[in-house]
Amino acid sequence: MDNVRIDKWLWAARFFKTRSLATDAVDNGKVKLGGDRIKPARAVKIDDVLTIDNGAETWEVTVLGISDKRGAAPVARLLYQETEASVQKRENEATARKLYREPGSMIKGRPTKRDRRALDKASE
């Protein structure tokens, strides 16, 4: 297996829950190969360096294996290796999120009057 689309690989490596989400991310420039935007049909190769923003976190990974089948998470982790800088950056961001929560992060949808007052009070 040496010719797999990048969107299919992202789905198989479990960066995105569905293949259509992976395709949309590649189309919107959330996935970059060596800093350059790519198209979903681009074939992924071993030793490619990808920057992946899946909405919650940003990953920088090196492709170690190629697969077009979505398997168990431990098997999917064998398809890539995250760079040390990326691991450190994600840990720092997780610590920052634990220490300081955004005032509006708990509000879903349009804020109620009570939520708006709480936001206003927090921003003062």
* DSSP secondary structure letters along 26-76: HHTT-EEETTEE--TTPEE-TT-EEEEE-SS-EEEEEE----SS---HHHH
Q: What is the pLDDT of residue 99?
A: 84
How many structural domains are present in the chain? 1
Taking only the tens place, the pLDDT of each residue in 16-74 is 999 999 999 999 999 999 889 999 999 999 999 999 998 878 999 999 999 989 999 99
pLDDT of residue 111: 80
Least confident of 63-72, 80-89, 115-124: 115-124
Looking at residue 103, what is its pLDDT?
67
Average predicted confidence (pLDDT) for the chain: 88
CATH code for the domain in which residue 34 is found: 3.10.290.10
- On whether the CB atoms of residues 25 and 31 are closer than 8 A, the answer is yes
Q: Which H or E element spans position 93? A: helix 84-99
Which residue range forms the structural domain that includes residue 17? Answer: 4-123
